[in-house]
Structures are given as C-alpha cells and as structure tokens.
Amino acid sequence: MSGSKEDNKLKQLPDELQLATAAHIKYVQSLDTRVTELSYWMTEHLRLNGLYWGLVALHLLGHPEALPRDETIKFVLSCQKDSGGFAPAPNHHAHMLYTVSAVQILAMVDGFDELEKHGKGNGKATVAKYMADLQNRETGTFAGDEWGEEDTRFLYGALNALSLLGLLDLVDVDKAVDHVVACTNFDGGYGATPGAESHAAQIWTCVAALAIAGRDDLIDKEKLARWLSERQVANGGFNGRPEKTADVCYSWFVLASLEIIGKRHWIDGDALVKFILSAQDPEKGGISDRPGDMVDVWHTCFGIAGLSVLAYPGLEAVDPRYCMPKSTIERILGE
Amino acid sequence: MSTHDVPRTSGHRTEEQQRQELEKIKKYRELEEQFYSQTSSSSFEYTPALFQLTIKLLKLNPEYFTVWNVRRHLLISSLSPKSSSGPSRSTGCSSSSSSGTTTALSGASSQSRSAETLPSPESRTAGRDGQNGTTREGEGSKSKEADKKNAAAAENDANAIQSELAFIFPLLKDYPKCYWIWNYRRWILELAIKYLPVTTARRVWEEELGLDSMMLTRDRRNYHAWAYRRYLVAKLESTELGGKSMVEEEFGYTTRMTSADLSNFSAWHNRSKLIPRLLDERGASDFERRAFFDEELGRVKEALNVGPEDQSLWFYHQYLMSSITDYVGRATIVPNLDLEERVTYVTTEIEEIEELLEDFKDVKWIYEALLEYTLSLQQLEERELDAAEKERLGLWLGKLRELDPLRNGRWDDVEVDCKL
C-alpha cells in the first residue's frame, strides 16, 4: 500500500471510517483526569505502561506535545526505586515491564539527560544494571523482577530498553538470541518459553528481539509469514492464535512482525484499516478490541500503530521493532 | 486500561450511580492507604491484619502485583526459617535483602513457629502464646521435644502452603487469564518443594495437575493453563520430586483433548512437542517409528475428510509432513527414510489431498496444501518444476485468489517464485 492510490481509496471511506484524530488526542489527554471512575484507581498498576501507550498514540498522531513534557518526566522519575527499576506508580514495586516503559517514554520525550541528572544512582547506568541483573546467565532469558518469573516478553523488553540506553553490552546478547531460538515451533512461530505454543504477541517480542540483536537471519521467514498471514480473518482483523476471534491489538503484533520480516504485503491492508477504524469511538475518541466494545488506551495505541505500519495518511511512521516513532529511534540510534 | 469484551456504553451515569462509584473508590483507596501505611517502610512486619488486608485488596483487584509481592513476604514469614527464603534473585529492589525486613520477618516467623501448631495463616489471631504453655509443660527429653517441634513446624508449613493454594483457587477461576495469579501459584509450588517433605510436596504438585486439567476443561485453549501444565509435568518428572517420565500419560492426554475437539490447536501443539521424546523413550525402531507416523497421519487425514476447513488440522498435518520434507537437522519422527520413500510419501499425500476436492471444491486449505507439498516435492528431488506441475500450480493459485483474496500478496509471491 503506498502513495496516492491508498489516499484515494481511503477518501472514499464513509466519515465514521476516517481516523478521528482530534477525538483520539482528547481521549488520551483525558486519561489522567478520570478520578471519579473506579477503573482509574483499579488500573494504577498499569499507569506507566498507560503513559507509554498514550504517548505513542499521540506521537504517531503528530501531536507529541499534547501531554506536557516536564510533568511527564517528573511522573516517570517519581516511579523509580533505589534499585534503578521502575514501578507503575510511586507506591508500587518495580518490574521489568514498567522499567521498559519508563525508558521508552523518556526516549520519546528526549528525557535521558533528566534521567542522568535526577534519576537514582548513576542515571542510565543504574537503570540498565537493574535490567541486566535480571538476565538468567545460564539460559539467556530474563525474569520480570526478583521473584524470578521468566517470559520472552521480559527478554524483549530488556533488549529494547538497553539498546535505547546504549548499554546492550551489559547483557549476554548471544545467549538471549539462543533462548529465543529455543522458543521456535514447527509452525515458524514462537511462544513465551521453550515448548510453549506460538502466539502472535509472543512472536512479535521474539522477532523484534532478534531484529534488535541483528539476528533476524535466524527466523524461518516463509513459515512464520504463512502462519502470521493466516491470522487475518474474514472481517479484516487479526486473531492471536488459530480459531480465536479478531482483536485490534493483534493488528500491531501480527503486522509489525510481518513488517520486520518483509512480508507485510501477505495480508490485506485495506481490510485491516477498515477493521481498526470500525473499532474506534469517533466521537469520544479511543479504539476498542473490536467494534462496539469499550475503548482503552492499549487498543488505542496498537490500533494507531497498526495504521501507521500501513502508512495511513497523516500518521507519523512507527518503528516495527520498538513500537515507537521512527524519528525517535533514528535520533537515538543514529540509524 | 486494557479491556476485552466489554460492550461500549454511553458512559452516562445517574447521580445515584456516581455516588455509588465514588463510595467504592473511597473504600478501595482506604484499603490501599492502610496497606501502604503498613508496608511502605522496608521493615514491615507480619500481622494478621496486614495479611487480611492483602486478601481484601486481591479479591477486589487480582492484578495488583505489589500486593502479591507483599503477600509472598508474609507467607514466607509464617513458614519455618530456611537458609534462603527470600526472592530467588538477590537483585534486591525489594525489601527482603534489607536488614530491617529480614529481622522483622524472621522475628515474626520464629514467634509464630513457637506459638502455633498451626491453623492457616488466614485464621491466625493475635493470641499467639495460647499454646506455648502446653509445649513447655511436656518436659521430656530434649530431642523428643525437638522432634515434636519439627513435626509441628512441618505441619504448620504444609497447612500454610495448602491454605494459600486454596485461597487463590477461586480467584484463578474468576480470572483465568491473570498472569500474576498463575505466577504466584508457581511460586507457592516452589515453596512446597523447599519446605515440605518430598512425598507431601509431590502430592501438592499432583493435585495441581488435576486442577490444571479442570482449568483446561473450562477453557481448552487457555494459554496460561497449557504453559502451567508443561511446567507441572516437567517438575513432576524431575528427581527433585522423585519423579519419572510422564510422556506416555501426557501424550494420552493430548489424544483425549484432540479427540474431544479437533480444532484444539493448543493440544496439537503440545502433542508435537511430546512426540520426539515419546519415540526416543520407547526406543522405537525404524519400523515402529514408521508405523507411528502412518497412524498419526491417518488420524489427522480422517479428521480432514470430515472437516477440511479446520486450520488446526492442517497445521498439524504440516508438522507431520515436515518430518518427511524438512528433516535435515531436526528432531523428526522418521529420520531414516531414504529419498525414494520420502518422495512416495509426498506423492501419495498430494494424490489423497486432491481427492478431497471431489467433496470440497471451495476450501482454500486444500489448494494451499497442494501448492505447498508440490513445491516440497520439487525441493526434495532437487529439480525444476515440470510443465504439468506448473499448470496445476497455476490452477490452484487461481482458486486461492478467488477463495482467499485477503492473502493475494502471498499468492503473487508464490507465482513469481515458481516462475509461472
């Protein structure tokens, strides 16, 4: 899908299938003001992830300034623990998942200097050490926190954030790569651990981890692309595993994986665009898992990121390995 | 922040609804406040009130991993002291490595040990010294008393671990996709190994496998429950729990699961992971391997004859055929077939799949399989496609474009690759 042909096609879509940019921006801005809703308090354990999802959406929509930079950095730093790791909110405990979000947020708002100045310990190095210490030096995989649960999501998170910090050499990348390879299945996909069933979200973490490590040559691209392309179902959306219903978040996990291995054209982009847009709330903003459901910031992020991979007009380009704006990755990695 | 299957509503709330919601928020935040006021310093102590508080919060919000973490500390503190009972990693963001907590927790634990013989931690009350007298009165030989103490401690540990597993089971049933509950449950099981005699620990783990089967009856595809199953089985097989291989039983389990539901890709997947080990452990001869392969292939084809729309079956068929076509450097079912035998297998499959077309003209999977195995055959024989094959591939691709236009980009690539 490229250029003018795509633009024309999309202009023919009815109004409710146009991306409601202004509404989505307002929706993301409103997220931190919903203190009269119980769900706001019940989701505090996801706050830093939520900020990352919201910020990705805003950056891709071309409005990075819609959340104030100073407050963003202040909040992120308020979530840091002495260990260097980050919690989802100030009172909570640290975990890999939030540490990665913290690094990604700081990367997007160009806030590494503030981390160096005001972060715990030695700034970037302390954060990186927290993550590096979570690597299992025997198998190469990573734990989420000191309690030891391991998952390819944590391995990916570590490679993502450490590469952004420029400190990937603190971990054994070769061993991490070996571990990802050990998670490969006969269908070309990857699971959460060796032996686990292929799952689109885990596949993305594994494929993106290999790409960040510069080892995407280890992927059986034909086999994987065949399995991934079969995730697209009749309504245009993607499911995460065979025989499951489509869900907007897989628009990202499947599509970004296909993009990394150069097979994005194996699915129908127009049908996917329609599916994602039919799941948006055009008035109040936000995108849901599927048409007619409640919106949330997770699906809003991955829906918009999916549209960005498909070069939807007016959106900033997204990096399929990092789920962050390409411009951010270029600025940091100098690629 | 991530909701699934919740219908979109107008968002309008009546005054009464708003009042009720604010009331709920107030209660929830009060609980949180109490929780943090007792745990924010790095030297929080076990108290029955704090333990109860974690229960209240987790019942309201089982995703609250910080509360689970505190509960781990509390649970450890109620067990007999072990050399290293803190987190398995000593990266120390949390309180366990700080001296304050260690003292506080071990203090609590020794206190409770001497005090009780022991009910579940949940029902523990502040009256800790109630039974101390009785223990001291029995002034028999010192070793006898020590034995008694040890037995009491062991019973205490077993009770605490089992009541904790019992407490979270209803939560797991209500939130079967919550990572934190599954993680916490694994962690308790590891405690069972560390704290209980091996026979007791084994019984706990065996019961857990039964529970997992139950979870998989409720949702046959639950990703967590399948992962949990592999984890349980690996441990039950290990010497740590005095185990032996369970590959035959587990293979049998996938037979039952796939027979009950042919579309259960999770079960087919697990089967594919068990087969190489199964054959190795059986010490299967080439002849037996081939018989196994034929039976397995026959089984999946029988299912395809009835339901050729089922992609789970086709993926499994593809797995079996990769033993024939894609066998270099992989664990395969039939490693010692010669080229001629392999070619015969693939040729036969192509013929039989083509026969499916007589009954099912419009099932795209059939054309896809024909395409794939024709290309495999050509690669196996290390030759170019002949004219007849090219013609057939062209026809099948035409049908695929018609039946499966979503993936036209893929069919374009195949056409280019085959130089049609």
d(CA A294, CA B198) in angstroms, rounded, equals: 49
Lowest mean pLDDT among A109-113, A235-239, B10-14, B351-355: B10-14
Judging contacts by C-beta atoms under 8 Å, the chain A residues touching residue B318 are 186-187
Residue B263 has pLDDT above 50, yes or no: yes
Of A45, A135, A165, A136, the residue nearest A94 (C-alpha): A45
Residue A233 has pLDDT above 60, yes or no: yes
Q: How many residues does chain A have?
A: 335
What counts of helices (H) and strands (E) characterise chain B? Answer: 17, 0
Confidence grade of residue B329 (pLDDT, cut at 50, 70, 90): low
What does the pLDDT read at residue B334? 94
> How far is A158 from chain B, CA to nearest CA, in Å?
15
What does the pLDDT read at residue B103? 32
d(CA B32, CA B22) in angstroms, rounded, equals: 15
**CA distance readout (Å), A177 to A156, A212, A223, A224:** 10, 10, 19, 17
Residue B415 has pLDDT above 60, yes or no: yes
d(CA A91, CA A238) in angstroms, rounded, equals: 37
Lowest mean pLDDT among A200-209, A258-267, B33-42, B304-313: B33-42
Confidence grade of residue B86 (pLDDT, cut at 50, 70, 90): low
d(CA A247, CA A244) in angstroms, rounded, equals: 9
pLDDT in tens, B19-72: 999 999 999 999 999 999 999 877 788 888 999 999 999 999 999 999 999 999
Neighbouring C-beta atoms of residue A267, cutoff 10 Å: 26
What does the pLDDT read at residue B123? 39
**CA distance readout (Å), B250 to A37, A175, B256, B273, B411:** 46, 30, 10, 11, 39
Token pair listed for B216: 């998989």
Confidence grade of residue B113 (pLDDT, cut at 50, 70, 90): very low
d(CA B115, CA B117) in angstroms, rounded, equals: 7
Is residue A318 within 8 A of residue A305, CB to CB? The reply is yes
Confidence grade of residue A169 (pLDDT, cut at 50, 70, 90): very high
CB-count burial class (<10 Å; 0-12, 13-18, 19+) for A137? exposed
Q: Which residues contact B286 (CB under 8 A, 6 or more apart)?
A: B334, B336
Interface of B with A in 202-231 (CB under 8 A): 221, 223, 226-227, 230
What does the pLDDT read at residue B6? 84
Kind and range of the H or E run holding A318: strand A318-319
What does the pLDDT read at residue B53? 96
Residue B172: cis peptide before it, omega within 30 degrees of 0: no
CA angle A123, A126, A129 (to 5 degrees): 150
What does the pLDDT read at residue B273? 96
What does the pLDDT read at residue B7? 85
Q: What is the per-residue DSSP string for A212-230? A: HTT-GGGS-HHHHHHHHHT
pTM: 0.90
Chain B residue with minimum CA distance to A270? B406
Confidence grade of residue A55 (pLDDT, cut at 50, 70, 90): very high
Picking from A27, A47, A136, A147 by the largest number of B CB atoms within 10 A of its own CB, the best residue to mutate is A147
Is residue B230 within 8 A of residue B244, CB to CB? The reply is no
d(CA B309, CA B303) in angstroms, rounded, equals: 10
Nearest to A148 among B40, B89, B322 (CB): B89
Chain A residue with minimum CA distance to B310? A243
Work out the average pLDDT over A296-302: 97
Confidence grade of residue B94 (pLDDT, cut at 50, 70, 90): very low
Q: What is the per-residue DSSP string for B329-362? A: TS--S-TT--HHHHHHHHHHHHHHHHHHHHH-TT
Q: Which residues contact B164 (CB under 8 A, 6 or more apart)?
A: B75, B120, B121, B188
β-pairing, A324-325 with A295-296?
A: unpaired
Q: Name the amino acid, one letter, at A233.
A: V
Residue B108 has pLDDT above 90, yes or no: no
Judging contacts by C-beta atoms under 8 Å, the chain A residues touching residue B413 are 265-266
Residue B101 has pLDDT above 50, yes or no: no
Residue B136 has pLDDT above 80, yes or no: no
What does the pLDDT read at residue B43? 74
For A143, the 3-state DSSP assignment is strand
Share of chain B above pLDDT 90, in %: 73
Residue B14 has pLDDT above 80, yes or no: yes
What does the pLDDT read at residue B89? 46
Confidence grade of residue B376 (pLDDT, cut at 50, 70, 90): very high
Confidence grade of residue B3 (pLDDT, cut at 50, 70, 90): confident
Is the CA virtual torsion A10, A13, A15, A21 positive or negative?
negative
Work out the average pLDDT over A281-303: 96
Is residue A113 within 8 A of residue A120, CB to CB? The reply is no
pLDDT in tens, A190-214: 999 999 999 999 999 999 999 999 9
Confidence grade of residue B1 (pLDDT, cut at 50, 70, 90): low
Residue B81 has pLDDT above 90, yes or no: no
* Cβ contact, residue pair B6, A293, below 8 Å: yes
Residue-averaged pLDDT of chain B: 86
Nearest to A41 among B28, B89, B410 (CB): B28
- Through-space distance between the first and last CA atoms of chain A, rounded to whole angstroms: 24
Interface predicted TM-score (ipTM) over 0.90? yes
d(CA B288, CA B279) in angstroms, rounded, equals: 9
* Cβ contact, residue pair B1, A185, below 8 Å: no
d(CA A203, CA A180) in angstroms, rounded, equals: 10
Is the CA virtual torsion B148, B152, B158, B159 positive or negative?
positive
Interface of B with A in 265-304 (CB under 8 A): 265-266, 269-270, 272-273
What does the pLDDT read at residue A327? 98
pLDDT in tens, B156-203: 999 999 999 999 999 999 999 999 999 999 999 999 999 999 999 999
Judging contacts by C-beta atoms under 8 Å, the chain A residues touching residue B226 are 196-197
Residue B131 has pLDDT above 80, yes or no: no
Share of chain A above pLDDT 70, in %: 96
Confidence grade of residue B220 (pLDDT, cut at 50, 70, 90): very high
> How far is B148 from chain A, CA to nearest CA, in Å?
33
Work out the average pLDDT over A77-101: 97
Is residue A217 within 8 A of residue A262, CB to CB? The reply is no
Confidence grade of residue B401 (pLDDT, cut at 50, 70, 90): very high
Picking from A230, A248, A301 by the largest number of B CB atoms within 10 A of its own CB, the best residue to mutate is A230
Residue B119 has pLDDT above 60, yes or no: no
Judging contacts by C-beta atoms under 8 Å, the chain B residues touching residue A199 are 223
Judging contacts by C-beta atoms under 8 Å, the chain A residues touching residue B187 are 147-149
User: DSSP secondary-structure letter at A142?
Assistant: B
Work out the average pLDDT over A88-114: 98
d(CA B365, CA A71) in angstroms, rounded, equals: 54
* Cβ contact, residue pair A186, B272, below 8 Å: yes
What does the pLDDT read at residue B140? 57
In sequence order, which ranges of chain A are alpha helices (DSSP H)? 3-11, 21-30, 38-42, 47-60, 69-78, 96-108, 112-118, 124-132, 152-165, 173-182, 200-212, 221-229, 249-260, 269-278, 297-309, 326-333
Compute the count of residue pairs across chains A and B with CB atoms less than 8 Å apart.
189
What does the pLDDT read at residue B105? 35
> How far is B349 from chain A, CA to nearest CA, in Å?
19
d(CA B189, CA B302) in angstroms, rounded, equals: 41
d(CA A29, CA A58) in angstroms, rounded, equals: 9
Work out the average pLDDT over B91-98: 35
Q: Which residues contact B121 (CB under 8 A, 6 or more apart)?
A: B48, B51, B74, B75, B78, B160, B163, B164
Left, alpha or beta for A285 (phi > 0: left; psi -120 to 50: alpha)?
A: left
Work out the average pLDDT over B207-219: 97
Q: Chain A within 8 Å of B41 (Cβ-Cβ)?
A: no
